[in-house]
């Protein structure tokens, strides 16, 4: 069975990005708002985002209209009942996700593929609450979904080879570059990337270098497009801390635990670009090292 109709649960940044990717590739999409409130805002976000692309000359109006016409927005989970594939992209909390999978297992067809866009949580733990476990897997897109090519297809403990192959074909069909990964906390990218950012923070705490110098060294010396602090601010420091804790709770190694400075910044609400201040102060033009970090955060 070819995947034609896709359901997305969650209309945050990632959910809407994945929905746009699927609709752009010609799939009919049902985007379900997972939190209370009207769905109009989610649709407006997509429409405004596509309008900017048209304004920049990267897309014509007819293509934009065709993408929007393939997207339906709902606040009801049972709207995905007839979908061939459902991609969950809600809050990164295991118990909340497991509860959703229990409901989807009852609502969706027996042959519907149920997937999670989790960045670090166990796919097998979500699979465990389902009766039809062979059709459950991870489908981890990267932010921003319309731009980033990689998708990690996560092989849960009982995911069938048939499910993996269908998802592999689907990812290529939506112009993504898939890799199949065993269900290990953090998978490939975040299992490598999170310790990299944590090590940079510890270097800062030890006085090895400044935020700007460490970032500059990795961009100039390792050809990274962003330094570790720029990357952490881009992802969101709360997200980085949560990913760190998820990996730490799995491996129980201090190397993966959130450093003191990261925890303090999250407690203060300095979450990076989305709040205007993190390791950098984004109210300045161009952004400068957060003046609060010119002295130790204690």
Residue pair 159/190 in contact by the 8 Å Cβ criterion: no
| 243 closest CA partner among 91, 87, 92, 17 | 92
| 39 closest CA partner among 1, 71, 17, 82 | 71
Query: Is residue 115 classed exposed, middle or buried when 0-12, 13-18 and 19+ CB atoms within 10 A define those classes?
Result: buried
Give residues with Cβ within 8 angstroms of 236, minimum separation 6.
Answer: 271, 272, 273, 274
Q: Which of 27, 140, 155, 256 is catalytic?
A: 140
Residue pair 179/152 in contact by the 8 Å Cβ criterion: yes
Task: Give the dihedral of Cα atoms 51, 55, 56, 57; nearest 10 deg.
Answer: 100
Answer yes or no: 216 catalytic: no
Residue pair 113/105 in contact by the 8 Å Cβ criterion: no
| 124 closest CA partner among 109, 107, 138 | 138
Q: Which of 24, 117, 119, 290 is catalytic?
A: 119
- What is the distance between the alpha carbons of residues 84 and 68, in angstroms, rounded to a whole number? 20
Answer yes or no: 119 catalytic: yes
Q: Which of 122, 190, 246, 290 is catalytic?
A: 190
Answer yes or no: 190 catalytic: yes
Answer yes or no: 27 catalytic: no
How far CA 79 is from CA of 24, 42, 51, in Å, comes to 20, 16, 27
Q: Which of 77, 88, 92, 152 is catalytic?
A: 152
Positions marked active-site: 119, 140, 152, 190
């Amino acid at each position: 069975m070819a995947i034609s109709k896709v359901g997305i649960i969650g209309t945050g940044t990632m959910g809407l990005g994945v929905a746009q990717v699927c609709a752009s590739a010609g799939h009919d999409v049902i985007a379900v708002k997972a939190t209370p409130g009207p769905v109009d805002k989610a649709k407006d976000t997509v429409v405004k985002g596509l309008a900017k692309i048209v304004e920049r000359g990267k897309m014509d109006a007819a293509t934009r209209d065709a993408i929007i016409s393939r997207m339906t927005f709902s606040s009801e989970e049972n709207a995905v009942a007839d979908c061939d594939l459902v991609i969950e992209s809600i809050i990164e909390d295991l118990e909340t996700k497991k509860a959703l999978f229990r409901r989807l297992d009852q609502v969706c067809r027996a042959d519907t593929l149920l997937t999670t866009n989790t960045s670090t949580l166990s796919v097998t733990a979500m699979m465990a609450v389902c009766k039809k476990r062979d059709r459950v897997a991870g489908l981890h897109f990267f932010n921003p979904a319309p731009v980033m090519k990689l998708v990690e297809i996560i092989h849960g403990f009982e995911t069938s080879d048939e499910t993996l192959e269908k998802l592999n074909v689907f990812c290529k069909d939506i112009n993504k570059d898939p890799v199949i990964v065993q269900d290990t906390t953090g998978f490939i990218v975040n299992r490598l990337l999170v310790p990299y950012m944590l090590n940079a923070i510890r270097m800062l705490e030890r006085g090895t270098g400044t935020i700007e110098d460490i970032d500059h060294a990795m961009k100039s010396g390792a050809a990274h497009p962003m330094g570790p602090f720029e990357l952490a601010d881009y992802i969101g420091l709360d997200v980085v801390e949560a990913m760190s804790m998820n990996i730490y709770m799995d491996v129980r190694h201090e190397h993966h635990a959130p450093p003191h400075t990261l925890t303090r910044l999250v407690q203060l609400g300095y979450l990076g670009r989305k709040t205007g201040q993190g390791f950098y102060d984004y109210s300045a033009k161009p952004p400068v090292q957060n003046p609060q970090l010119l002295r130790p955060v204690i």
